[in-house]
Structure formats: structure tokens, C-alpha cells
Amino acid sequence: MAEHIDGVRFARDGGVARIRLHRPQARNAVNLPMIMAIRRALEEWRDEPLRVITVESAVDGVFCAGGDIRRVRQNSLEGDPRASDEFFATEYRVNEMLASYPIPVVALIDGVCMGGGLGLSVHGPFRVVTERAVLAMPETAIGFFPDVGASYFLSRLPGGLGLYLGLTGARLSPADALDVGLATHYVKAADLHAVRQALAEEAGPVDAVLRRHVSRPEPSGLARHRDTIDAVFGDVTDLDEVFRRLRHDGSAWARRTLATLEAMSPQSLALTFDLLLWGRQRSLRECLDAERAAARRVVTSPDFLEGVRAVLVDKDRSPRWAASEYLGTGRDGVVRWVVDRS
């Protein structure tokens, strides 16, 4: 079995089925047809006698740069936010399917993996990264917020890591991703073919097969700042306190981090902060539902329209943020804004 539908290539060889993203002109940014095709494949394969399913890229140097946010913005400009809601609903359904799929799913992350790319990888049990992998949730820079279940998986990272990554959009190296738990195995890009072949031919648990091919990555740069990250972003219940702690720290890292946060959409920072604190005690389904409700409101907001313009359309990277429309304050605020009013 092999077919190419809407930017995704599907193949099945014996006990292995492959989902390969192939939208090179958009760095594999996923759109509604791609997500719908992936959902159909997962539904069809659920009861098949498969050993493993891989999610990977057919484009060199990129796994998935995220969702097609430019299309989402255009939907809002054209007065059709329902089209965006359909996209998010379908995408989040695929995220949830991957988290509970009865067949082991292995993501082979060989290149850039951001936003929606994490949604297609991090919910599965096996996330293999190569030396070319770069992981991030950079949504606050475009007036959006970390979604695809990030209020669930980021909020469960140790210490202050989740808030740090969600608010700043910091990029993770392969070693960083392993260190924080977003990746499970490191394999050199040159060995990926051998990994695919082993998954198809070798018996035994998937983890054991992968471990026979792992290498040691370069040391984690993020690990050097873990104590400071925890001191600034850990055990905090107020976003303003994060800014105060960074100013008080005064180190070069703190100054860089402060400058990063000050360049982000204030509305996005406030919403992200509240969603991550709220999500710590919620199920994945509850988090995805809250994110969908938030997305409905955010995609028509001035900050989202301006942020996507500045970063992805005109690319001048000089957004002019509006006064925040988000009125939430802490965990109760996010419930009032995105859940009770959805």
C-alpha cells in the first residue's frame, strides 16, 4: 500500500505503516486536508495487525514547522473563523488519538519540529530525535499560544520548564529535548534507514529495537540553566512575578530572557501562563477543549492578526501589539475566558 494524499504520503509494508509529511513549499506546515487524511489513516489502521506506525517527513531537514497559521489568519480576515475552528477541532482530535492509540507510534524527528509538529509527535510513546532536530513552541511571538495539547504536556514538565518553554518559545536541541523528556531516543540521521528497517524486521518491544540504534548527543545547553529556570519560572502563581524575578536575577541569561518576553504579545503571555497553570490538574481532553475554546477567540484578536503578519506574512518582525483583550487572572480567569464562555 502506498499513496500520496493532500501533502501526506502513506505507506504500509508488512507490519509497519508510515505517515510521511510532504509539503515542502510550507516546511510541512499542516493544513486541514493533511490533518483529515492523517485522521482517516489512523482510523483505518486502528484494528489492523500492525507492529508499529511511524510519523516522519519526506522533506529533508524539516519534520513539521507547525500548523498553517497563515491560512488561519486569512480565514479571520475573510470573516470565516469557522473554517479555522474546523481545522483546530480536527488537529486536536488527531493529537488525542495519538495519545491513546493502540498501536505503538514512533515519531522520527529529523529537523525542525514546532507547534503542530509537536502535536504530531509528543503525544506518542516514542519520539526519536536526530542531530538536526530543533523543537519549540514559539506561538507567543505571533500573538497565539502553545496549543496541540501543550497546556497538558508542557505543564507536566519538571520545575519551571513548562512555563519557560511556553512563554519564551525557546528552541530545544536534541540533547535538550531528551533532558526535559520531550524526546525519548537519539539516533544519528544517517542511521534512520537502519532504524526503519529494524522496526520492520526485528522482533521484540519497540523500545528495545530503538535502543539498539541510539547514540549519545552533544551535552544539553539548557541543563546549564535549569536551576535558574526553576528559580524564575517554578512555583509562581503570577506572571508579573516572573518579570520581577528576571529583573532581580540580573544575569546575562536573565536579561536575554527578559528581552525575549518583552517582545512577545502581552495577551499571549497572560493566556499561556494561565492555561499552563490550569492544565496541570486537567486531562488531555480537558486541555484540548480549553485550547480550542481559546483558539476561537484568539484567531480574531488584533494581536494574532498582527503577530502573524509581522512574522509569517510581511516578515518584518516588528509587531505592534494592541491592548490585551484577555481578562483572565490566574486559573479562574482562564476558565471564565475560554471555558465558561465557549
Looking at 7, 66, 67, 166, which residue is catalytic? 67
β-strand pairing of 112-114 with 134-136: parallel
Of 91, 96, 139, 289, the catalytic one is 139
Tell me whether residue 43 is one of the annotated catalytic residues: no
Closest to 277 (Cα-Cα) out of 241, 231, 330: 330
Neighbours of 312 (CB within 10 A): 15
115 assigned to active site: no
CB under 8 Å, gap of 24 or more: what pairs does 213-219 form? 213/187, 214/185, 214/186, 214/187, 215/186, 215/187, 215/188, 215/191, 216/186, 217/129, 217/131, 217/173, 217/174, 217/175, 217/178, 217/186, 218/131, 218/173, 218/174, 218/175, 219/175
Strands 2-5, 8-13: pairing kind: antiparallel
Catalytic site includes residue 176: no
- Catalytic status, residue 91: no
Strand 112-114 with 8-13, pairing: unpaired
The CA distance from 73 to 261, in Å, is 23
Region of residue 84 (left: phi > 0; alpha: psi -120 to 50; beta: else): alpha
Radius of gyration of the chain from its Cα atoms, rounded to whole angstroms: 20
CA neighbor of 287 nearest in space, from 149, 153, 120: 149
Kindly give the residue spans of alpha helices, DSSP state H, lying in the chain.
32-45, 69-77, 81-99, 116-119, 150-153, 161-168, 174-180, 192-201, 206-211, 226-233, 239-249, 252-262, 266-279, 284-298, 302-308, 330-334
Check if the beta carbon of residue 337 is closer than 8 Å to that of residue 326.
yes
* Set 115, 116, 117, 124: catalytic member: 116
Q: 261: which 3 cell numbers?
A: 518576553
Query: Of 299, 303, 248, 308, which is closest to residue 270 (Cα–Cα)?
Result: 303
Residue of 68, 91, 147, 303 marked catalytic: 147
Record the cell numbers describing residue 64, joined without a space. 513539521
Residues with a catalytic annotation lie at 67, 116, 139, 147
